[in-house]
Amino acid sequence: MNRTAETHRTTKETDIRLTLNLDGTGAAKLDYPIGFMKHMLNTFAKHGLFDITAQASGDLDVDQHHLIEDTGIALGQCFATALGGKRGVRRCGSCLFPMDETLARAAVDISGRAFLSFNAGLSGVPLVSGAFSFQTDTIEDFWQGFATAAGLAIHLDILRGRSDHHKIEALFKASARALRDAAEIDERARDAIPSTKGILDRLDKPLAMV
């Protein structure tokens, strides 16, 4: 089973080429202009054992919102495509991930029904490294775009923590492991759709999002 996908999302604000292999080794090749987000995507690939390549550019002279949200959309589109009809997947996954003082929780259902619950308790203060800063409020936009494009329900919570860096990174690690569990093939039900409905189809099947 070849569970791979690629997408090229281009708008007047962003240009993103992305590939995904659900059954990879955690390899990431990222040409991404926002250092902190590149770090998060690399972390996501490593902990989910997803192979990801990305080339991205955007209107960073405006702010980081457009590029980060569109990256979530592109990654979600790849997930939806790579999952195909979802036959044999475990469907649900969850993870509690401790990162020093921070404890993150992620729960995922590959249901075909898009929903995001995001409770990270971020301060809203940008993370700063040298001359660069990262808009932490864009993280929720990333996950909203991902959940909507992938057609899944994802609940992301910080149960405790102090550092915004740790909170965001722990959520990426927890979500990657939850998604890995949900997307993995269940050997006891390899040919089954994990739903009493007999289908886990998208409600809208959007090819693009405005």
Q: Determine, yes or no, domain membership for 99.
A: yes
| CATH classification at residue 107 | 3.30.230.40
What is the Cα–Cα distance from 182 to 25, expressed in whole angstroms? 17
β-partners of residue 15 are: 10, 57
Residue 113 sits in which domain range?
4-189
What is the Cα–Cα distance from 82 to 180, expressed in whole angstroms? 13
The pLDDT assigned to 150 comes to 97
Q: Determine, yes or no, domain membership for 198.
A: no
Tens of pLDDT, residue by residue, the chain (210 residues): 789 999 999 999 999 999 999 999 999 999 999 999 999 999 999 999 999 999 999 999 999 999 999 999 999 999 999 998 888 899 999 999 999 999 999 999 998 899 999 999 999 999 998 778 999 999 999 999 999 999 999 999 999 999 999 999 999 999 999 999 999 998 876 776 655 565 566 555 444 333
CA distances from 3 to 24, 29, 196 (A): 9, 18, 24
Give the chain's domain count: 1
The pLDDT assigned to 205 comes to 47
- Helices 65-83 and 35-48, axial angle in degrees (round to 10): 20
Q: Determine, yes or no, domain membership for 116.
A: yes
Residue located via tokens 């809203």: 124
Q: Determine, yes or no, domain membership for 95.
A: yes
